[in-house]
């Protein structure tokens, strides 16, 4: 996947969801968009990042350095650049994201008593990514785990994504 692979995956994920953040009300002109998230995903403590296996010094904010309206994005990778964790925060509701047609295999998971779901993207043909969706205060987070080499079709990246979410959960606001 290379040095920019995680950033490209982040760009595709956010850009694909940006359209679902707008809603037009029948009989009214214009759109209403989700507000900016309160949670800063780059605020995850370094010791937590080390625990999940990524290097805090690899931090990348936004999508290739460009702020996406309605989103805060932060990502990290391991030293070998074979494993990426990206956290997307948005003011959109959990249900809005969970029901987006780009997601398949929407599966509920228990995350320390929080309502959470794993989702896979329809575009993930190499079996590289799994996101864990959960609410954090007024925001929704997508905790994406990406594997540069992907996995055989018989395996899933979701167990690793769930494990990463369990390690991150204590550092997230309720």
Q: What is the CATH number of the domain that holds 121?
A: 3.40.1000
For residue range 136-161, what is the model confidence (pLDDT) as tens digits? Answer: 999 999 999 999 999 998 999 999 99
Domain containing residue 58:
5-171
Residue 174 pLDDT: 87
**Predicted pLDDT of residue 16:** 53
Contact assessment for residue 130 and residue 116, using Cβ atoms and an 8 Å cutoff: no
Our count of domains for the chain comes to: 1
Task: Please give the Cα distance from 138 to 93 (Å, whole number).
Answer: 8
pLDDT of residue 17: 57
Question: Do the beta carbons of residue 116 and residue 165 sit within 8 Å?
Answer: yes
**Token pair listed for 48:** 């937590």
pLDDT of residue 92: 94
Quote the pLDDT of residue 46: 98
Q: SS3 for 103?
A: strand
Task: Report, as ranges of residue numbers, the positions in the chain whose pLDDT lies below 70.
Answer: 1-34
């Amino acid at each position: 996947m290379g040095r920019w692979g995680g950033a490209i995956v982040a760009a595709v994920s956010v850009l694909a969801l940006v359209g679902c953040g707008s809603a037009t009300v029948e009989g009214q002109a214009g759109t209403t968009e989700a507000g900016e998230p309160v949670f800063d995903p780059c605020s995850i403590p370094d010791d937590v990042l080390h625990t999940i296996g990524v290097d805090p010094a690899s931090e990348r904010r936004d999508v290739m350095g460009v702020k996406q309206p309605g989103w805060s994005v932060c990502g990290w990778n391991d030293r070998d650049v074979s494993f990426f964790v990206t956290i997307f925060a948005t003011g959109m509701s959990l249900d809005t994201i969970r029901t987006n047609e780009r997601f398949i295999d929407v599966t509920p998971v228990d995350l320390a008593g929080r309502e959470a779901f794993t989702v896979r993207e329809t575009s993930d043909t190499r079996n590289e990514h799994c996101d864990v969706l959960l609410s954090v205060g007024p925001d929704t987070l997508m905790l994406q785990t990406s594997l540069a080499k992907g996995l055989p079709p018989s395996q899933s990246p979701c167990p690793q994504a769930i494990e990463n979410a369990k390690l991150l959960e204590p550092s997230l606001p309720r």
